[in-house]
């Protein structure tokens, strides 16, 4: 009967909506719980430093490499385009502002998602299925305090730093192409950057990196905590963490870009 | 039955349903202080689920779990943590933290709880490891030692806090018969030494009858029978007989 078909699909749609909303709710509650635990001492310094080392320092090589090439590509394309309109002097600001406002935080965040976000989701997922998280709980040691809070803090600390590294390396990548290959004077390149890049741009990049750092670690912890069964579950949690974090980063980048000055 | 006016653990009318599956259908069980109670039952029959209720990791749909006069089911947050601080738990796979060495694993609960002076931590952890016969293994990581050793480390980690109640979730799964006996022997020896109340979930039959004070048979979501090992082994109940003699369900007994 067509009537029941319509009803069924409405019901399915409704169920999908409710499921999606409650998943979103759980996702939000997870962060609120973490914030509550972060606010109550003692703060686990050693675990936090280990996480910063893992999320931040261990991501450095990939950030250096991608940052350099991103800057080089920007320098190359900027040079080719601006030469047509005869304003190649502005290639420095083009490279610098694009990096500092957009590409530094976004690409650094995407690289960290792939490198550390996936590993964190897998690690926490394995801890869940091998009952290590339950072991913490029954030792009266809250896993939020010992696992989640240090990881979130590490994201908040590491991402702005990594984004800045990305920016600086990228600007030098642009310098290599424009000055060393195209023969522009280095005074023009850096001088124009100094003239056009202002602290507002740097703040925009900072806020974005901060938000992305939270998103990456929040998604990874949540997906690891709510892992399914066995190796397959861990695999799925890892994939979902990477996909969800990447999508959120790009979506939030747009909204932050339009809200921030 | 061990006659005791106040049980260390009292489980009353525990019900739990996961989706359409009713796993616990009214579990009632008392465990006396310093008793070594072993819960046996079919694989997948809800033994581990029952244990997770006692630990406050799962909330029942109905029923109570009273440990030391407090209902674990209704406790939350710090109040629940205060009860848990008296627990020692040995999980099925050991649940050792694989980012920490064996010694750090044993050290972890006492170091983080800060109940004992810092200078005593290391000697105490070393002593706990020595008690389970792994005094030399402290520097290794859980991945570098055998399954039997991991269970021993898990036992050392559970006992290092000097718990009043110890829970063991199939501590001998996947071990060969000699190791099973050595783990059982260790549990008995440590139990004699520390006098804790113990609830152990197991399907090591008949080995378990040699160490248990009492045995409870979990069948179809209820405690079908409970008694001393002799009583349970001598039971004429068909379900119990079928279970402990490992006979296939449909065959007439």
* Mean pLDDT on A140-151: 92
| Out of A130, A137, A139, closest to residue B93 by CB | A130
- Chain B residues inside the 8 Å CB shell of A131: 91-93, 95
ipTM for the assembly: 0.88
Q: Is the pLDDT of residue A214 over 50?
A: yes
Statement: residue B252 has pLDDT above 80:
no
Q: Do A139 and B84 touch (CB under 8 A)?
A: yes
Dist. CA B209–CA B38, nearest whole Å = 9
- For A133, which residue in chain B has the nearest alpha carbon? B95
As a whole number, the mean pLDDT across chain B is 88
pLDDT at res. B2: 47
Q: Identify the residue with better confidence: B251 or A51.
A: A51
A139 touches chain B (CB under 8 A): yes
Nearest residue on chain A to B113, alpha-carbon basis:
A141
* pLDDT the model gives residue B136: 87
Contact criterion met (CB < 8 Å) for B81 and A131:
no
pLDDT of A71:
96
| Residue A163, pLDDT above cutoff 90 | yes
Count chain A–chain B contacts defined by CB atoms under 8 A. 46
Cβ density class A138-173: b for 16+ within 10 Å, e for less: bbbbbbbbbbbbbbbbbbbbbbbbbbbbbbbbbbbb
pLDDT tens readout for residues B210-220:
999 999 999 99
Mean pLDDT for the stretch of residues B111-133: 87
Q: What is the mean pLDDT of residues A143-162?
A: 95
The whole-number average pLDDT for the span A36-60 is 90
Query: Can you name the residues that pair with B40 across neighbouring β-strands?
Result: B217
H helices of B70-216, where?
77-84, 102-113, 118-131, 147-159, 177-194
The whole-number average pLDDT for the span B220-238 is 90
pLDDT reading at B247 higher than 80 = no
Tens digits of per-residue pLDDT, B146-198?
888 899 899 999 999 989 999 999 988 888 888 888 889 989 988 998 899 99
Between positions 19 and 48 of A, the ones with CB within 8 A of B are: none
The per-residue pLDDT of chain A, averaged, comes to: 93
User: Quick one: closest CA in A to B76, which residue?
Assistant: A140
User: What SS3 state is found at B65?
Assistant: strand
Lowest-confidence region among B53-57, B97-101, B132-136: B132-136
Average pLDDT over residues B201-230: 90
Among chain A residues, the shortest Cα distance to B57 is held by: A134
Residue B206 banded pLDDT, cuts 50, 70, 90: confident
pTM of the model: 0.87
**Do A130 and B97 lie within an 8 Å CB cutoff?**
no
Task: State pLDDT tens for residues B27-41.
Answer: 999 999 999 999 998
Among candidates B94, B42, B48, B17, which has minimal Cα distance to B199? B48
pLDDT at position B253 is 45
Give the CA dihedral B135, B139, B144, B149, nearest 10 degrees.
20
Residue A162 has pLDDT above 90, yes or no: yes
| pLDDT of B1 | 47
């Amino acid at each position: 009967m067509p009537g029941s078909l319509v009803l069924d699909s409405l019901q399915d749609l409704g169920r999908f909506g409710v499921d999606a909303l409650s998943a979103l709710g759980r996702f939000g509650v997870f962060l609120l719980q973490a914030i509550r635990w972060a606010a109550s001492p003692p703060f686990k310094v050693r675990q936090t430093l280990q996480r910063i080392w893992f999320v931040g320092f261990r991501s450095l090589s990939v950030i250096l490499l991608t940052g350099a090439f991103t800057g080089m590509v920007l320098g190359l394309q900027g040079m080719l385009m601006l030469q047509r309109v005869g304003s190649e002097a502005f290639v420095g600001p083009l490279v610098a502002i694009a990096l500092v406002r957009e590409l530094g935080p976004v690409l650094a965040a995407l690289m960290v998602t792939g490198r550390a976000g996936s590993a964190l989701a897998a690690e926490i997922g394995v801890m869940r299925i091998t009952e290590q998280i339950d072991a913490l709980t029954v030792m009266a040691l809250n896993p939020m305090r010992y696992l989640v809070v240090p990881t979130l803090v590490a994201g908040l600390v590491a991402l702005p730093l990594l984004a800045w590294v990305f920016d600086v390396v990228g600007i030098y990548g642009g310098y290599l192409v424009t000055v060393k290959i195209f023969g522009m004077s280095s005074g023009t390149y850096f001088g124009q950057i100094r003239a056009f890049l202002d602290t507002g741009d740097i703040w925009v990049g900072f806020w974005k990196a901060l938000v992305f750092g939270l998103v990456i670690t929040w998604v990874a912890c949540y997906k690891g905590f709510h892992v399914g069964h066995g190796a397959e579950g861990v695999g799925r949690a890892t994939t979902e963490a990477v996909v969800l974090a990447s999508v959120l980063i790009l979506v939030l980048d747009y909204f932050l870009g339009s809200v921030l000055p | 039955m061990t006659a005791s006016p106040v049980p260390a653990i009292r489980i009353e009318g525990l019900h739990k349903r996961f989706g359409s599956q009713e796993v616990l259908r009214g579990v009632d069980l008392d465990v006396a202080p310093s008793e070594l109670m072993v819960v046996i039952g079919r694989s997948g029959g809800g033994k581990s689920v029952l244990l997770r209720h006692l630990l406050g990791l799962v909330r029942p749909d109905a029923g109570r779990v009273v440990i030391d006069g407090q209902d674990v089911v209704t406790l939350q947050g710090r109040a629940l943590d205060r009860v848990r601080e008296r627990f020692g738990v040995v999980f099925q796979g050991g649940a050792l933290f694989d980012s920490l060495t064996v010694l750090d694993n044993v050290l972890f609960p006492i170091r983080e709880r800060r109940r004992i002076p810092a200078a005593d931590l290391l000697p105490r952890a070393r002593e706990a490891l020595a008690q389970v016969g792994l005094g030399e293994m402290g520097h290794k990581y859980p991945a570098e030692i055998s399954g039997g050793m991991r269970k021993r480390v898990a036992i050392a980690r559970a006992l290092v806090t000097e718990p009043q109640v110890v829970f063991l979730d199939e501590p001998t799964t996947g071990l060969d018969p000699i190791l099973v006996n050595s783990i059982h022997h260790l549990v008995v020896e440590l139990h004699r030494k520390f006098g804790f109340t113990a609830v152990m979930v197991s399907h090591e039959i008949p080995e378990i009858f040699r160490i248990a004070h009492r045995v409870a048979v979990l069948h179809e979501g209820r405690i079908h029978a409970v008694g001393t090992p002799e009583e349970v082994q001598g039971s004429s109940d068909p379900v119990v007989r079928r279970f402990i003699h490992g006979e296939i369900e449909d065959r007439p007994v």
